[in-house]
């Protein structure tokens, strides 16, 4: 059984926050908590036994490093100096910063916020080896969520936290999503309401020359480029152009990530625009294909696939409804990129819950604000991309 407690309203909020902090301090059990990007599954980053609990609860491969969350810069300086953080010390600014100069403008501009930076892990280090998964660097961010920062401050130690979904599922943007995936596998979820950004942090490596973006996220590449030293930042992840060069991926052969149970068919923005009315002929052909695979599997005819549609900008309301009783839902998640990001993971989960077999998703523009993050997640979730 998992305790689900509220922390953003009501008189219980403070004591619930304290309860979560205590669990993190005293037990080796990970706790679900809100950040502005997605919900995290946190543990004291300085204790191995605590960090191991994260991998166990998520079913996450242990060669995948975790992001560290700090409440303030002094906590980060403590990690860089290799010393345990002392919560009770009256804060005096460190004389020399151990932070590489390249990160200073980024931190000034984007922290607290959805940006993760890579730093060299000092020797000796206070970080548990499970956090970095054998790498010589660690990833760290200061979340914009004040609830997250209060929690970290109360624990008095940095929190290692991946997204609080079961491995391969879409990231959770509400406490309810965390419960769907991890009920009974963790002791406590701190509910702070829905996340405001909805996609994970941007991960950057400023230690390489030129600096690179390892994962697109809540801070866009255009925003990064406005910072001194980051004008020539490169993408070190696959974008549409590269994915297009690969052989078409067969359904079921994808690398599973961000995936609902349903099969996701993604329409790139230009393709979606050309099909404003939404695709009755596509639905027909996907239905035929779906039926043929099901007949092979089950040896019998079924009622046809249940269809879900996620709309953004071009597809009309009522789009696809003509396909009749098999339509489970058609949801508009927003027209501007920020709203799309905020509603995306939730919509994928919602259509799963309604029993969709196939979800048709209308994409957005890669180069518009945090559109790169949205499309990166969707291309990973999709078993088929139409362009």
Q: 195 or 307: whose CB is closer to ligand TXA?
A: 195
User: Strand order of the sheet with strand 263-267?
Assistant: 327-332, 307-311, 358-362, 263-267, 384-386
The smaller minimum CB distance to Mg ion, of residues 17 and 219, is found at 219
Q: Cα–Cα distance between 147 and 15 in angstroms, integer?
A: 13
Q: Is 361 in the site for ligand TXA (CB under 6 A)?
A: no
Min separation Cβ 202 and ligand TXA, Å: 8
Q: Which of residues 106-165 bind ligand TXA (CB under 6 A)?
A: 114, 116, 118, 132, 135, 137-139, 161-163
Q: Does 376 bind ligand TXA (CB under 6 A)?
A: no
Q: Which does 38 bind (CB under 5 to 8 A by kind): Mg ion, ligand TXA, none?
A: ligand TXA
Distance, C-alpha 331 to centroid of its chain: 21
Q: Give the x-and-dash track for 213-252 against ligand TXA (CB under 6 A).
A: -xx-------------------------------------
Pairing of strands 263-267, 384-386: parallel
Q: Where are the alpha helices (DSSP H) in 162-259?
A: 175-182, 221-225, 240-245
Instruction: Tell me: does residue 329 bind Mg ion (CB under 5 A).
Output: no
> Which of 101-109, 149-157, 159-167, 379-387 is the region at the interface with Mg ion (rule: CB under 5 A)?
159-167
From residue 62, how far is each of 14, 54, 125, 215, 255 by CA, in Å? 34, 10, 19, 19, 17
CB of 166 to ligand TXA, least distance (A): 12
Least CB distance to ligand TXA at residue 115 (A): 9
Under the binding rule (CB under 5 A), the answer on residue 163 touching Mg ion is yes
Q: In what side-by-side order are the strands of the sheet with 40-44? A: 3-6, 188-191, 31-33, 40-44, 159-160, 67-69, 137-141, 115-120, 202-205, 212-215, 234-235
71: closest CA among 105, 24, 26, 29?
24
Restricting to residues 179-208, which ones interact with ligand TXA according to CB under 6 A?
A: 200-201, 203
Give 35 or 163: the residue with its C-beta nearer to Mg ion. Answer: 163
Residues that bind Mg ion (rule: CB under 5 A) add up to a total of 1
202 binds, among Mg ion, ligand TXA, none (CB under 5 to 8 A by kind): none
From the list ligand TXA, Mg ion, none, partner contacted by residue 264 (C-beta under 5 to 8 A by kind): none
Stretch that binds ligand TXA, among 7-15, 63-71, 305-313, 350-358 (CB under 6 A): 63-71
Distances (CA, A) of 379 to 4, 90, 279, 308, 385: 32, 48, 20, 17, 7
Distance, in Å, from the CA atom of 282 to the CA atom of 280, rounded to the nearest integer, reads 5
343, 334 in Cβ contact below 8 A?
yes
Residue of the chain from 23, 67, 381, 385 that contacts ligand TXA (CB under 6 A): 67
- Residues constituting the chain: 387
Q: Which helix (H) or strand (E) holds 377?
A: helix 371-381
Residue 204 interacting entry, from Mg ion, ligand TXA, none, C-beta within 5 to 8 Å by type: none
Contacts of 207 (CB under 8 A, 6+ apart): 100, 102, 118, 119, 120, 137
d(CA 45, CA 42): 8
Contact range with ligand TXA by CB under 6 A, out of 65-73, 296-304, 323-331, 371-379? 65-73
64 near ligand TXA (CB under 6 A) = yes
Q: What residues have CB less than 8 Å from 206, skipping those under 6 apart? A: 100, 102, 103, 106, 117, 118, 229, 230
Window 22 to 41, contacts with ligand TXA (CB under 6 A): 35, 37-38, 40
* Residues in touch with ligand TXA (CB under 6 A): 35, 37-38, 40, 64-67, 114, 116, 118, 132, 135, 137-139, 161-163, 200-201, 203, 214-215
* Residues in touch with Mg ion (CB under 5 A): 163
């Amino acid at each position: 059984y998992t305790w689900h407690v509220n922390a953003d309203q009501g008189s219980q909020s403070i004591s619930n926050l304290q309860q979560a902090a205590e669990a993190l301090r005293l037990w080796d059990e990970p706790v679900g908590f809100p950040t502005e990007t997605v919900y995290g599954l946190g543990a004291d980053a300085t204790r191995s036994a605590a960090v191991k609990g994260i991998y166990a609860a998520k079913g996450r491969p242990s060669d995948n490093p975790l992001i560290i969350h700090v409440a303030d810069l002094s906590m980060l300086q403590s990690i860089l100096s290799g010393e345990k953080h002392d919560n009770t010390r009256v804060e005096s600014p460190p004389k020399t910063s151990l932070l590489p100069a390249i990160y200073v403008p980024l931190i000034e501009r984007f922290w607290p916020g959805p940006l993760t930076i890579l730093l060299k892990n000092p020797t000796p280090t206070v970080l548990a080896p499970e956090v970095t998964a054998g790498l010589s660097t660690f990833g760290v961010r200061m979340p914009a969520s004040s609830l997250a920062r209060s929690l970290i401050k109360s624990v008095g130690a940095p929190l290692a936290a991946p997204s609080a979904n079961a491995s391969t599922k879409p990231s959770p943007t509400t406490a309810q999503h965390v419960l769907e995936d991890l009920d009974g596998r963790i002791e406590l979820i701190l509910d702070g309401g829905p996340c405001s950004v909805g996609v994970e942090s941007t991960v950057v490596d400023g230690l390489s020359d030129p600096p690179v973006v390892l994962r697109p996220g809540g801070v866009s590449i255009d925003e990064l480029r406005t910072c001194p030293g980051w004008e020539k930042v490169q993408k070190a992840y696959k974008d549409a152009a590269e994915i297009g060069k690969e052989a078409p991926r067969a359904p079921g052969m994808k690398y599973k990530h961000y995936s609902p149970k349903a099969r996701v068919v993604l329409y790139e923005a230009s393709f979606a625009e050309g099909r404003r009315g939404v695709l009755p002929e596509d639905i027909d052909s996907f239905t035929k294909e779906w039926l043929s695979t099901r007949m092979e599997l089950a040896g019998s005819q079924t009622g046809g696939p249940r269809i879900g549609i996620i709309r953004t900008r071009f597809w009309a309301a009522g789009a696809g409804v003509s396909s009749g009783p098999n339509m489970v839902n058609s949801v508009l998640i927003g027209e501007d990129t920020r709203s799309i990001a905020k509603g995306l993971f939730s919509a994928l989960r919602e259509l799963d819950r309604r029993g969709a077999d196939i979800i048709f998703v209308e994409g957005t523009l890669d180069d518009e604000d945090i559109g790169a993050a949205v499309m990166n997640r969707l291309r990973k979730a999709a078993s088929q991309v139409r362009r």
